Amino acid sequence: MTTIGLLVCDTFTDDLRAKYKCDYEDLFIDALLDVDKDLSFVAYHVYRGILPSSVQECDGWLITGSKAGVYEQLPWMQTLEAFLKEAYEADAPIIGVCFGHQILAHSLGGKVEKSEKGWGLGLQSYELLEPIAGLEGVMDLYAIHQDQVVRLPDEARVFAKTDHCPNAGLRYKKRAVSFQPHPEFSREMETDLIMRNKGGIISTVQADQALESLEVKPAQGREIMSFMVDFIRG
């Protein structure tokens, strides 16, 4: 059985935890088990300073999202970055999502900033520069972020982009890949995250536009989850 180590970088707010009866790691566990039942998981709450004792402790690593910014360089982030560098050099499979995408890039020499372009929200259609997960041309996934990778690590190349987010998907020379959008999100989760911030940190106009995008077509999260399993198994 393949064991995936979940490097959990945040916790849901009380209202989301109460509604969904889950937390960050559970979204990934449920979505990954939906495509392959022969998986086990260990969750490490790295935002609380809990990390694996070894980069070989699991068969591969998946870094979750977070409300925090990589540039805050909190102590737990620095510890996580050291772990990711070691795992990368050891050729361990690594997958990053949203904040995970950003901190992996930062740990390997890239740069992350709050984008001057503002929020990336709703269903985004990413131009694929190379096929992934059986998809060619376009990858449709939910997004909610302000921060972006603005300078690539030397080890990385872009495989997915939009005009708003030109470094949305990265592949690395060794066994690492990352996604700015959220393949683990359902439409309901994306809707709730937009609605709870509408009229606050997200303008009403932008929130409404993002909500409209959710009605256009389904996201391709399941395809990406299947890819993740294959990627970790090598």
What CATH code is carried by the domain that includes residue 23?
3.40.50.880
Residue 108 lies in a domain: yes
Residue 110 lies in a domain: yes
Which pLDDT score is estimated for 22? Answer: 85
Q: Tens digit of pLDDT for each residue in 83-115?
A: 999 999 999 999 999 999 999 999 999 999 999
Question: Would you say residue 202 has pLDDT above 90?
Answer: yes
Q: Is 182 a catalytic residue?
A: yes
Tokens read off for 211: 């909500």
Tokens 């690395």 belong to 172
Residue 192 lies in a domain: no
Contact yes or no for 181/141 (Cβ under 8 A): yes
**Cα separations (Å) of 190 from 86, 97, 139, 177?**
33, 15, 17, 23
Residue 178 lies in a domain: yes
Q: Is 184 a catalytic residue?
A: yes
Residue 199 lies in a domain: no
- Looking at 45, 98, 101, 165, which residue is catalytic? 98
**138-145 vs 147-151, strand pairing mode:** unpaired
What range defines the domain where residue 57 resides? 2-115+147-185+220-233
pLDDT band at 170 (very low <50, low <70, confident <90, very high): very high
Q: Is 98 a catalytic residue?
A: yes
Q: How many structural domains compose the chain?
A: 1
Question: Would you say residue 191 has pLDDT above 90?
Answer: yes
Does the pTM surpass 0.85? The reply is yes
How far apart are alpha carbons 123 and 125 in whole angstroms? 7
Burial of 166 (0-12, 13-18, 19+ CB in 10 A): middle
Residue 122 lies in a domain: no
Residue 229 lies in a domain: yes
How far apart are alpha carbons 186 and 144 in whole angstroms? 13
Residue 181 lies in a domain: yes
pLDDT band at 53 (very low <50, low <70, confident <90, very high): very high
pLDDT band at 150 (very low <50, low <70, confident <90, very high): very high
| 5-29: average pLDDT | 93
- Looking at 9, 58, 182, 190, which residue is catalytic? 182
How far apart are alpha carbons 12 and 186 in whole angstroms? 15
